[in-house]
Amino acid sequence: MMTKQVEEILDEPHEQIVQRVCAIDVGKDSGTVCVRVPAASGTGRRVSKVWDVPARTRAVLGLAAQLSDQGIEKVTLESTSDYWRIWFYLLEAHGLDVQLVNARDVKNVPGRPKTDKLDSVWLAKLTEKGLLRPSFVPSAQVRQLRDYTRMRADLTGDRTRYWQRLEKLLEDALIKVTSVASRIDTLSVRDMIEALIAGQRDPRVLAGMARGRMRLKYADLVESLTGQFDDHHAELARMLLHQIDTLTDQIDVLTARIEALLASLPAGNTPDPDRPAPDGQTRPGTRANAPADEAAQRRTPPTAADMIKILDQIPGIGPSNAQVIIAEIGLDMSRFPTAGHLVSWTRLCPRTIQSGKRSTTGKTGKGNRYLRAVLGEAAATGGKTQTFLGERYRRLIKRRGKLKTIVAIARSILVIIWHLLANPGTTFHDLGVDFNDHRIDIGRRTRNHVRQLEALGFNVTLTAAA
**In angstroms, rounded to a whole number, what is the distance separating the alpha carbons of residues 267 and 285?**
20
Say whether both 159 and 60 belong to one domain: no
Say whether both 37 and 98 belong to one domain: yes
* SS3 category, 46: strand
Say whether both 128 and 88 belong to one domain: yes
Q: How confident is the model at residue 3 (pLDDT cuts 50, 70, 90)?
A: low
Q: Which residues of 34-61 are buried (b: 16+ CB within 10 A; e: fewer)?
A: bbbbeeeeeeeeeeeebebbebeeebbe
What φ, ψ does residue 101 adopt, rounded to 5°? -120, 150
Burial grade of 88 (CB within 10 A; 0-12, 13-18, 19 or more): buried
Residue 461 counted as domain residue: no
Say whether both 254 and 146 belong to one domain: yes
In this predicted structure, what is the pLDDT of residue 112? Answer: 65
In this predicted structure, what is the pLDDT of residue 170? Answer: 92
Residues in the chain: 466
Q: At residue 165, does pLDDT exceed 90?
A: yes
In this predicted structure, what is the pLDDT of residue 302? Answer: 73
Residue 154 counted as domain residue: yes
Q: State pLDDT tens for residues 213-260.
A: 888 889 999 999 998 889 999 999 999 999 999 999 999 999 999 999
Domain span including residue 64: 21-135
Pairing label, strands 30-38, 21-26: antiparallel
Say whether both 148 and 260 belong to one domain: yes
DSSP output for 305-354: HHHHHHHTTSTT--HHHHHHHHHHH-S-GGGSSSHHHHHHHHT-SPPEEE
**In angstroms, rounded to a whole number, what is the distance separating the alpha carbons of residues 368 and 366?**
7
**In angstroms, rounded to a whole number, what is the distance separating the alpha carbons of residues 159 and 181?**
19
Q: How confident is the model at residue 271 (pLDDT cuts 50, 70, 90)?
A: very low
CB 349 within 8 A of CB 411: yes
Q: How far is CA 208 from CA 219, 225, 227, 426, in A?
A: 10, 11, 16, 52
End-to-end CA distance of the chain: 55
Say whether both 99 and 194 belong to one domain: no
- Minimum mean pLDDT among 140-144, 211-215, 314-318, 364-368: which range? 364-368
Most confident of 84-93, 148-157, 209-218: 148-157
Say whether both 123 and 178 belong to one domain: no
**Span 451-465, average pLDDT:** 88
Say whether both 94 and 32 belong to one domain: yes
Q: At residue 291, does pLDDT exceed 90?
A: no
- Minimum mean pLDDT among 13-27, 141-155, 218-232, 349-363: which range? 349-363
CB 32 within 8 A of CB 20: no
**Span 277-286, average pLDDT:** 40
- Minimum mean pLDDT among 2-11, 192-201, 269-278: which range? 269-278
Number of domain units in the chain: 3
In this predicted structure, what is the pLDDT of residue 378? Answer: 92
Residue 448 counted as domain residue: no
Mean of the per-residue pLDDT values of the chain = 83
Q: What is the CA radius of gyration of the chain?
A: 30
Q: How far is CA 333 from CA 28, 328, 337, 421, in A?
A: 32, 12, 7, 7
Say whether both 146 and 259 belong to one domain: yes
**Span 119-132, average pLDDT:** 82
Q: At residue 284, does pLDDT exceed 60?
A: no
Q: At residue 293, does pLDDT exceed 80?
A: no
* SS3 category, 136: coil
- Minimum mean pLDDT among 293-297, 301-305, 329-333: which range? 293-297
Q: At residue 295, does pLDDT exceed 50?
A: no
Q: Which of 91, 108, 135 is the last residue of a domain?
A: 135
Say whether both 312 and 255 belong to one domain: no
In this predicted structure, what is the pLDDT of residue 409? Answer: 92
In this predicted structure, what is the pLDDT of residue 280? Answer: 39
Say whether both 126 and 153 belong to one domain: no
Compute, in degrees rounded to 10, the torsion defined by CA atoms 443, 448, 450, 453. Answer: -160
In this predicted structure, what is the pLDDT of residue 118? Answer: 82
Q: At residue 297, does pLDDT exceed 80?
A: no
* SS3 category, 191: helix
**Cα-Cα-Cα-Cα dihedral sign, residues 269, 273, 278, 284:** positive
Q: At residue 123, does pLDDT exceed 80?
A: yes
**In angstroms, rounded to a whole number, what is the distance separating the alpha carbons of residues 349 and 399?**
18
Q: At residue 466, does pLDDT exceed 70?
A: no
Q: At residue 413, does pLDDT exceed 90?
A: yes
Residue 71 counted as domain residue: yes
**Cα-Cα-Cα-Cα dihedral sign, residues 255, 259, 265, 271:** positive
Residue 196 counted as domain residue: yes
Residue 188 counted as domain residue: yes
CB 233 within 8 A of CB 169: yes
Q: Which of 109, 135, 161 is the last residue of a domain?
A: 135
**In angstroms, rounded to a whole number, what is the distance separating the alpha carbons of residues 261 and 423?**
23
**In angstroms, rounded to a whole number, what is the distance separating the alpha carbons of residues 40 and 340?**
44
CATH code of the domain in which 26 resides:
3.30.420.10
Q: At residue 287, does pLDDT exceed 60?
A: no
Q: At residue 298, does pLDDT exceed 90?
A: no
Q: Which of 106, 135, 164 is the last residue of a domain?
A: 135
* SS3 category, 34: strand
In this predicted structure, what is the pLDDT of residue 73? Answer: 87
Say whether both 35 and 103 belong to one domain: yes
Q: At residue 281, does pLDDT exceed 50?
A: no
**In angstroms, rounded to a whole number, what is the distance separating the alpha carbons of residues 10 and 423?**
25
What φ, ψ does residue 111 adopt, rounded to 5°? 85, 5
**Span 113-134, average pLDDT:** 80
Residue 27 counted as domain residue: yes
* SS3 category, 361: strand
Q: State pLDDT tens for residues 356-388.
A: 777 777 677 778 889 999 999 999 998 898 988
Residue 73 counted as domain residue: yes
- Minimum mean pLDDT among 158-172, 237-251, 278-292: which range? 278-292
